[in-house]
Chain A
Amino acid sequence: MSGVIVENLSKAFPKEDGDVIWALKDINLEIRDEEFVCLVGPSGCGKTTLLRIIAGLESPTTGRVIVDGNVVTGPDPRRGMVFQEYSLFPWQKVIDNIAFGLEMRGVGKEERRKIGERYLEMVGLSQFRDAYPYELSGGMRQRVAIARALANDPDVLLMDEPFGALDAQTRNRMQGELLSIWEQTKKTILFVTHSVDEAVYLSDRIVVLTPRPGSVREIVEIPWPRPRDRTSIEFADVRRKVLRMIEDTENSR
């Protein structure tokens, strides 16, 4: 039971003149256990803000987030996060980066290296165990970041455009790998992306947000089995439908 419930959530940022900007308004969302959900929307619609609130890195102005029956009040290793920017600690070797969360929990060195190696293998980078992050390519860094988040064995994995900085080929390969990791670990994944193609390829459901203030415009179910064929007609249909929704929300402002 590791669902995520977002209840009447709104977020306002103060402006310099004392006024506020509403980034998110009345968001209600329920993500089931082991579900893969993508958040899409035009840029500036607050999808990253929503993810950061769920992570506990920011607090909502009104409403609340409930994960696994508990109200979110701050960051917690049970909610793993993969950032868009490269967030590996440059002073630590790959294996120590992955084991960082375990170290914080007080797991002994032997034990955490063993666990770390398991996740390193899962992302296919065993031979880079003792490398420093600067020695890795962008795709490899994000794979290590995923392994680092998973090593904490979180209930939910929050991903903020993790493949946004990667080239198209690497990106497609990473999507496939992420799905296989998801199938192995059975995590609930909430994934922010600006790529509709990526969302249709990955998710069980796509949540489309409207821009400023962000609110849920529509939720698109994608019941097909994986791996999905990006070139199929129904894939193109759903992609077109979602793209049009995003365009509409932008134009209706």
Chain B
Amino acid sequence: MAEANVIKPDLEFVKKIMNSGGESLKKCYQCATCSVVCNVTPEDKPFPRKEMIQAQWGLKDKLFSNPDIWLCHQCSDCTAYCPRGAKPGEVLGAIRKLSIEHYAFPSFLGKAVGDPKYLLGLLAVPVVIFLTVLGYLGHLRIPEGEISYAEKFMPVLAVEAIFIAAALFACLGFFAGVVRYWRDLKSGAELSTNKWQRMVKGPIPVIIINTILEFMTHRRFQKCEVTKDRSNAHMFVFFGFAGLAIAAVWALVYLYGYEFFGIKTSGIFNFGLSPYPLHDPMKIFANISALALFAGILQVIMNRKNNAEKAGNGSYYDWLFISIILTIVTTGILSEVLRLADIAALAYPVYFIHLVFVFFLFAYAPFSKMAHMAYRTTALVFAKYSGREDKKYS
């Protein structure tokens, strides 16, 4: 007999999927209704049917070394139409979570973020950091007089130092994860008995740009049927975040333009220290972005609630991510409102919470659902690169 393709089903991995929101996994009986109703799958070797049996058999490597789990946008059309209640959408979500965990660097954080019993510990890290800084500065009580977070509470320099460190840490995590993932994708494509056609769509940078453009338009996402509103909600969240990122850079220009280059307020642009007046274009832009994010995340929650019956309830991992964003955006908006309303007793604690959660989001991004932005991008780029990409998107 020729060399046998010995597979080693991993029972523990099956249990992990079932414990990570894919508890319906074993109900699948391979009818392939899911692959038929899916609007985002390529026609050749469509998902999620094959992922379902690979998951049932605990074939971790096959699942991870294949971009398909990330081509899925969890429209939940499959879940809604599944005749057995196997919820392929939820199962693939659980597999993505485990994939993020698998590629996490350092790996213990991957496990910790996905497990509710470590939540307090993870939150304790930024709390301790910020309390230490405040203690060092002697700011451990509510300051008096006009509210100024930067001057009287947490200096910009400290905030930046901490967040730049957190961001670097996250970037390192992302980098390590994505590099390993790319390597596995390549080996997976090569090892696969069903090699994809190699139809490289030009140099990788071009593919990356194409992929990003695809994000901007949410072209894939809009193919969803059962949860078609999710595309809009995600668009709000996506552009809310993007706007806030731009506003943050803009604010840095104001601050350091003044500090280092002595640029003074000119026209409508209020260079200098924060807080900036409400009529400042940067402020207006930032506020709109915050409201967009807030509206977006509220829509996300509403959609999930409305679709729960068809699409499933979501996992801890999903809800942790949503809760973090919701907390960040609410505490952010509240910090501003409370500052303007001059309620110091509430403003400073709320701002503190805001900082803690922003840290959480930044530092743990490669381990939380936030990591989807890196892995999905990687998978989509790889799909285009390897010819896995379906014609209808090229």
- A and B from one complex: no
